[in-house]
Amino acid sequence: MSDLRQWLARVEALGQLRTMRGVPWELEMGTIAEMAGRQWEKPAVLFDDVPGYPPGHRVLVNPIGSRGRFASAVGFPPEMSVTEMVQEWRRRSREMKPTPPRLVDSGPVMENAMVGEEVDVLKFPVPRWHEHDGGRFIGTGDMIITKQAEGDWVNFGTYRVMVHDRNHVGLMIAGTHHGNWHMQEWHARGEAAPVAIVVGMDPYLFLISCNELPPGVSEYEFAGGLRGEPIEVVKGPITGLPIPAGAEIVLEGFVDPDERRAEGPFGEFTGYYAGGVRPQPVVRVEGVYYRNNPIILGMPPLRPVEVQLQYRDVVTRAGLLWDLLEGAGVPDVMGVWFYAAHFLLVLSVKQRYPGHAKQAARVAAASNIGVNRYTVVVDEDIDVADLDEVLWAMCTRVDPERDIELLWGFPGSALDPMVVPERKRYPTLSRVAIDATRPYEWKDRFPEVVASSVELKQQVLSRWGEALKGIV
């Protein structure tokens, strides 16, 4: 697939797309997104005929809220388990060869343009997503393209974008993200930072945008390498930044070094309005390019459990963390999974030596992949993607005095509700590492688990399979 529309055609063929007409942008789209997005396996929803806007100016929500749609976006077989998806993502990431984007003369994104005084970002049906949001946010399912001030490194990442007026939008990027690094480089030279904001694209590119790649690695090259062919881009007429040729809408402009405007509040992925209202950088939008009948890709954060967050971030981030653990010398990692907006990280190990589980817990807790307030290590017989099994291990294989460690002074997030307001700029918090494995010193004498063997289950299924339909 090369764009959002090809993917939508596939989703519609699967029977997983619903079109709703006449839904207002003011809160009602966001409410429907919330109702669909907090339930498993609900369809994607495409809003059309939005009151006050031309027919065909559309908004898509809950795009990857099912395993099948996520698999379709990244090219996985739909029958894969989530752990198999993590393993396959890791395999492809290891074997891929970085592939630079292919520059083309033009593309569908250039079908229409607004430049200079013509620019008006509210010509699109930008939603106000949550009841207490401070405005309309055009950037939720987006990719923000930036470039080094000196050098060739092009980065894109997903950051929120709030509309201030027809040609100014607010950009909220945490200091740890590479887009912020690039912006600061330009500002240190006293220059405005060029930015391109893509607010509708192939979901595959959006998923790559949510990744946390090493510094200096271009998401375009990573995406092309994983896909096995270059991503087609056009040169931004104003900034020169590479823009996906098949994008739906792109805002192009500059972030001045000194301009800041109040941004927020916004209901974030933690399930709270913890970020409040704070001065944030402002993009002066000088050009807007868009397809006929453009589509805004809407991914408003929801209070956990948010189904899309599990598919969107967990598979890719779990793979990155798994690689980090192995790279740090932690052997026999058997599974990695995140819960509750990345605040709870679970990994499993096959214990090889005393202290193995605690070593894994400390390395994982210290990483910047996810929030990791609670890091839990379990044995290989526990399914890390089954929270009931994880809780059972925590309740039956943990001695609180011996197996729970408090770790101090880790970087925090301004969006974390536990960061007090006066520390939002430079937040730090503690983390907890929990060893929920059988004690290594006597693990071979640990009581046996009450469960039927795999062989016995297969025997029963083969004998009673037809009668068990709808039961197992």
Are residues 55 and 125 both part of a single domain? yes
Separation in Å, CA 384 to CA 117, 269, 343: 54, 21, 15
Are residues 267 and 403 both part of a single domain? no
Tell me whether residue 411 is in a domain. yes
The token duo for 189 is 């030279």
DSSP string, 200-224: S--HHHHHHHTS-PPTT--HHHHHH
Q: What percent of the chain has pLDDT over 70?
A: 97
pLDDT computed for residue 255 by the predictor: 97
Please state, in angstroms and rounded to a whole number, the distance separating the CA atoms of residues 41 and 339.
18
Strand 137-139 and strand 160-165: pairing?
antiparallel
pLDDT computed for residue 470 by the predictor: 66
Q: How many domains does the chain have?
A: 2
Phi, psi of 130 (to 5 degrees): -115, 155
pLDDT at 313 over 70: no
Give residue 369's pLDDT band: very low, low, confident or very high (50, 70, 90). Answer: confident
Tell me whether residue 186 is in a domain. yes
Nearest CA to 253 among 370, 401, 350, 146? 146
- The model's pLDDT over 219-249, given as tens digits with 9 standing for 90+, comes to 999 999 999 899 999 999 999 999 999 999 9
- The model's pLDDT over 408-427, given as tens digits with 9 standing for 90+, comes to 887 777 777 877 887 777 77
Q: 198-213 as b/e, with b when 16 or more CB fall inside 10 Å?
A: bbbbbbbbbbbbbbbb
Are residues 360 and 409 both part of a single domain? yes
* Three-state DSSP class for residue 287: strand
Average pLDDT, integer, range 318-342? 88
> Among 281, 297, 313, which residue terminates a domain?
297
Range of the domain at 261: 4-297
Q: Is the model's pTM score more than 0.85? A: no
Are residues 53 and 167 both part of a single domain? yes
Are residues 233 and 351 both part of a single domain? no
Nearest CA to 140 among 30, 8, 276? 30
pLDDT at 276 over 90: no
Are residues 144 and 8 both part of a single domain? yes
Which CATH number fits the domain that encloses residue 191? 2.30.110.10
pLDDT at 173 over 70: yes
Please state, in angstroms and rounded to a whole number, the distance separating the CA atoms of residues 206 and 246.
13
Please state, in angstroms and rounded to a whole number, the distance separating the CA atoms of residues 364 and 370.
10
Mean per-residue pLDDT over the chain, rounded: 90
Give residue 436's pLDDT band: very low, low, confident or very high (50, 70, 90). Answer: very high
Q: Which residue has the tokens 């109040």?
A: 262
Let me know how long the chain is.
Answer: 472
Are residues 266 and 381 both part of a single domain? no
Are residues 289 and 375 both part of a single domain? no
Strand 17-21 and strand 44-48: pairing?
parallel
Average pLDDT, integer, range 100-124? 96
Are residues 123 and 203 both part of a single domain? yes
pLDDT at 471 over 80: no
Strand 428-436 and strand 374-379: pairing?
parallel
Are residues 279 and 345 both part of a single domain? no
**Cis ω for the linkage preceding 265 (within 30 of 0):** yes
Tell me whether residue 308 is in a domain. no
Are residues 189 and 240 both part of a single domain? yes
421 burial type by CB count under 10 A (0-12 exposed, 13-18 middle, 19+ buried): exposed
Give residue 433's pLDDT band: very low, low, confident or very high (50, 70, 90). Answer: very high
CA dihedral 266, 267, 270, 272 (to 10 degrees): 100
- The model's pLDDT over 5-36, given as tens digits with 9 standing for 90+, comes to 999 999 999 899 999 999 999 999 999 998 88
